[in-house]
Amino acid sequence: MNAVNLDQALLRQLEGKTAILTGAAGGIGAEITRFLISNGANVVMADLELTRASVEAILSSLPDPSRAMFVPTDILKWVEMVSLFKQALSKFGSIEFVIANAGVMERKTVLDIDEVDEAGDPVESKDFSKVIDINLKGTMNTLKLGLFYMKGNEAVFADGSKGSIILISSTSGYFGSTGVAGYISSKHGVTGLLRGSQNVAAKYAIRVNGVAPFVTPTAMSSGFAEEWKASGLPTNTATDVARVVSVLACDDSKRGSCYLTCGPIVKELEQSRTALIEAWFGEEASQLMKNAGQFFKERGGYTLPSLKAID
């Protein structure tokens, strides 16, 4: 796995540019806001209306609150998401960065087969559906609108790219040892979006990369935070994640990369995975995958089926 040396000089590219950030009201999102603002960016903070008090507290703590704005947004409501991007353009004139950070974790075990209703039948997991909707559909909505609203930009980076999108995955987007099935499934889906978006992003000269934070002290980890600290396991912070997100967003040499971040440990995951495919699949199967990829590339993509199940 490739170690990453973060080039802090890249952060100069944030100056005067505008970022849309979902899930901005707390935890990692709040620190990303502060980090971007401290490096000269404008930030459009998107989160639910119920987080207004938290957002206003963040805004009041900023050295220049005029370079940030709050747009109450439910990332699952398309009309609200479109309005978010339009308001960002109206306020700041352009959008160069989009960070899909909003995410949740289930409150109850989604595979609890001992939970039954009055008839003794297993109970549907509503938490699972909600987690998939917010973490995966919400990220897709953010990604799609980011691509749409940045494709008309002039080239804003030295490599000619028009914008930069960061998807917040997780180490749970690559591993599953915690057993938190809803969250793990959703974050594997975000990793899939990272991979599946590269062709479209390249067509419009937009860079899409990901960040996969290790356990970070936020509301999601509050239930075991003290035990974690006592265990001596590495400590990640929201500021660590914010720094990695910001540097990767500015790095115009990266497309389709995903950085695992755990405090001082920052590793690139996607390129490392590609390098290991032959050892993983074997030479014959690996070559087959390469040939299949080339086939679809040459014909302009996969011909989508018409299926009654999704009519």
pLDDT in tens, 109-142: 999 999 999 999 999 999 999 999 999 999 999 9
DSSP code, position 213: E
Residue 44 β-bridge partners: 20, 69
pLDDT at 37 over 70: yes
Reported as a single tens digit per residue, the pLDDT across 62-100 is 999 999 999 999 999 999 999 999 999 999 999 999 999
Tell me the two tokens of residue 269.
């995951």
Phi, psi of 145, deg, nearest 5: -70, -35
pLDDT at 236: 84
The DSSP annotation for 82-100 comes to HHHHHHHHHHHS---EEEE
Give the strands of the sheet with 265-268, arranged side by side. 2-3, 265-268, 258-262, 206-213, 163-168, 97-100, 18-22, 42-47, 68-72
Reported as a single tens digit per residue, the pLDDT across 199-247 is 999 999 999 999 999 887 766 666 777 787 778 777 788 999 999 999 9
Rg (CA), the chain: 20
Which of 189-193, 206-210, 288-292 is predicted least confidently? 288-292
**What's the maximum distance between 2 C-alpha atoms anywhere in the chain?**
64
CB-based contact 180:125 (threshold 8 Å): no
pLDDT at 225: 72
- Report which of 83, 79, 151 is spatially closest to residue 70, judged by C-alpha positions: 83
Position of tokens 């910001």? Answer: 246
pLDDT at 221: 64
**Percent of all residues in the chain with a pLDDT value above 90, rounded to a whole number:** 80
pLDDT at 286 over 80: yes
Classify strands 163-168 and 42-47 as parallel, antiparallel or unpaired: unpaired
- Report which of 280, 228, 245 is spatially closest to residue 170, judged by C-alpha positions: 245
